[in-house]
Structure 1
Amino acid sequence: MDKDRPRTLIDAVNGDGAVMLAEVERLLNEGHDASERHRSATSAVQIASRKCRFDVVALLLEHGAFESDLGWNAVFHAVAFGTTAELEEAVTSGIDLEARDHDNRTPFLLAAALGTVEKAELLMQAGADPLADKLSRSALLVAIEHDQVAMLDWLIGQGFPFQGQDRFGWVPLVWAAQLGAVACARALIDRGADLHEANYADETAIKGARSPGMVRLLLAAGAGIHDLERDVFRF
């Protein structure tokens, strides 16, 4: 076996996203326990869920991973796996729409991470709080974290500010730059986001850029090259 291939499910879900599903399937077929945990007690299914890899989550659950690890109610399940009709049925059954899962997400924040605008809209109409945050990060920042442009555009249309520091000092464009969310960064720039705006740590988008693609985008948009971190300027 290739020594660089994952040897545990924890390694696989923490590894290369492009081959995560295939590697998890291989390990399960080799007999690995789907409920495998890291020494920190975090399970493979929790890590996959945190990364919004619900194809991997579904596979692990099919092989015996504990759904209880996810901390979900029926609304979460419908957001991740169900149809809009199934979500509509779940939200009218009296289930708590502000419940938190293992990753401190509400169902609305999970929809933001997945980019499922129709489900987010349904949740909001049912009374879910769109201003709920995940460890100080708004739904807009959660959408950026997963580079969900359609969700970003929808949230901005709902009144979420796309520039300026929020109450925690986050700046959307800086956050996108830090995470390498090129599609969302481009959308923010196209809307006129200030390239020179700094977050709570006095970091601008170009200072926070971690990938060559992001650097190119920001420089082409007019960011100052003198603010570029040297170790990123390798492309």
Structure 2
Amino acid sequence: MDRLVKAEAKEVDVIFAKGQKCSSTFKLTNLMHTMSVAVSLTTTNPSLFTINKPFSTIPPLSSASYTLQLSHPSDQPPLSDPPDAITVRSTMLPTGKAPADHLRRLFSKPGPHVFRDAVLTISLIGPHVAEILISQTLQTHNLFTKSISACTKSQLTRLLKPAVECGGAEAVADLLNAGADATATATTESLMSLAIRVGNLQVVKILEGSGCKMDESVLHEAAATNRIDVMEFLLERYDEELDVDSVDWEGRTPIHVAAREGHVRVIEFCVWMGGNPNCVDWKGWSPLHYAAWKGQVKATECLLECSNMKYARDREGRRAFCIAKEREASEGRRRLVDLLGWGDALLRAARVDDVNGVKRCLGEGASVNGRDQNGWSPLHWAAFKGGIKSVKVLLEHGAEVDIVDDAGYTPLHSAAEAGHLQLAFFLISHGASQPNLKSFPHLSHPLNLHSFHNQFSFSP
């Protein structure tokens, strides 16, 4: 005979509650038709788990119930690996009855008369156990699914937030499969926003598939955490509902947020997706203002290339340069001030043909192709003023010869309009696209244009 008694289940589930006495009942059945059976019950951790009847007698074909109790209330479930267990041993009892001391002595003598009928796993379950397992990076999947089996729908829903916070895609999926409601507003913060901030794209996809509510700040959250992959997914999935230029409660777009955090790739991505780098928030700040405020040099360089807000003023009349200058003394942001300020000095030097000033500004890091409020570059100003020496220095430092202003005019247009013929032909000799002569009477020279170009040479 393999065993004398049978347990109704292989596990004893105990719903754990913080600071409370926890217990559970289980049942054993005598399989003998004509003889009583003595039973011994022991736990692997008797200081933690106790049983109300460690020794008992079960009549033929009868059942008996037992209570397993957690001895000491606790705020933390006493999880162990492997889990604690109850060992069930039995022996035949011809007399039918015996006092507890006799049964204790009977089981203290090992031998073939004692059967080991079962080992019952003690499973701690419930929302408090699940919450602890969520926080463990090396959680056992089966243990987690077992722990949430005793949770109500509202308890499962409340567990979604810690699961998302820990970035556990598997835990989030298990909770949703068990009945958690991702559309419920259990917290003031959107689960989707939280998932984006945590930075787990898989969790974002799981929540989106479950109908999780989407608020207007999701792109801002993705921009703040430098998650272009999340932005791509959301914009593709919610093409008609989400706008890359959506604004938050302060009027800021995702580009504002990316500029503040210094996430250059996000700025570039948003602009590529049609975002406007020139938007201003409720206080008149552009993304460039935020980059200057936070000292984000790379973001400032990026915005100087893709926006025209260098000279834009906020509601208090301050340009991005002013904001960077205010913070320079305390935070040592020399490079940022140079980016925003030396460009102005370069423009002034180009206007007056101050060659040494042009060289100094370029040496300090000023952008040779920087623009003023009308889109004019230093080369536009030097050409318009006839500063042929400054033009040469600017071209030697990489100035774009055909750079266009906001009206579509190039430096060659500026030189021709101002009547600086030698300078105009010098620009042509350095690759400037030749204009329509009918539009520029100053270039309608008696000599053929190409002949003049071939004969022309410049000596500084």
Q: Gaps (5+ residues) in structure 1? A: 1-56, 59-69, 100-105, 227-235
> Would you say 1:93 and 2:210 are equivalent positions?
yes
2:261 aligned to 113, 122, 146, which one? 146
> In terms of Rg, which structure is larger?
2
Output the amino acid matched with 1:90: L
> Would you say 1:184 and 2:295 are equivalent positions?
no
Aligned to 1:74: 191
Can you list the C-alpha shifts for 1:166-222, whole angstroms capped at 9, x where unaligned?
676332222321222222111011235342222222211211112323112223433
SS of the counterpart of 1:222? Answer: helix
How many residue pairs end up in the alignment? Answer: 154
Structure 1 residues 192 and 161, CA gap change in structure 2 (3 angstroms): closer
Structure 1 residues 98 and 165, CA gap change in structure 2 (3 angstroms): closer
SS of the counterpart of 1:174? Answer: helix
Q: Tell whether the 8 Å contact from 1:149 to 1:187 is kept in structure 2 after alignment.
A: yes
Q: Gaps (5+ residues) in structure 2? A: 1-164, 167-186, 328-332, 349-460
Aligned to 1:221: 343
> For 1:178 and 1:185, how far apart are their aligned partners in 2?
10
Can you list the C-alpha shifts for 1:107-132, whole angstroms capped at 9, x where unaligned?
22111111101101212223253314
RMSD: 3.1
> For 1:164 and 1:124, how far apart are their aligned partners in 2?
19
Relative to its length, the structure with more helix (as a share) is 1
Output the amino acid matched with 1:155: C
TM superposition shift of 1:82: 4.6
> For 1:223 and 1:136, how far apart are their aligned partners in 2?
32
Aligned to 1:8: none
SS of the counterpart of 2:290? Answer: helix
Q: What are the equivalent positions in structure 2 for 1:12-161 lying under 5 Å apart?
A: 71-98=188-215, 106-127=217-238, 129-130=242-243, 131-161=246-276
> For 1:215 and 1:162, how far apart are their aligned partners in 2?
20
> For 1:134 and 1:140, how far apart are their aligned partners in 2?
15
Q: Tell whether the 8 Å contact from 2:277 to 2:307 is kept in structure 1 after alignment.
A: no
TM (norm. structure 1) is 0.56
TM (norm. structure 2) is 0.30
> For 1:208 and 1:175, how far apart are their aligned partners in 2?
9
Output the amino acid matched with 1:222: D
Larger RCO (alpha carbons 8 Å, 6+ apart): 1
Structure 1 residues 121 and 164, CA gap change in structure 2 (3 angstroms): closer
> For 2:310 and 2:196, how far apart are their aligned partners in 1?
34
Can you list the C-alpha shifts for 1:96-155, whole angstroms capped at 9, x where unaligned?
1117xxxxxx22211111110110121222325331414221211111111111111111
User: Once the two structures are aligned, what percentage of the paired residues are identical?
Assistant: 21
> For 1:201 and 1:224, how far apart are their aligned partners in 2?
26
Structure 1 residues 142 and 164, CA gap change in structure 2 (3 angstroms): closer
> For 1:77 and 1:164, how far apart are their aligned partners in 2?
26
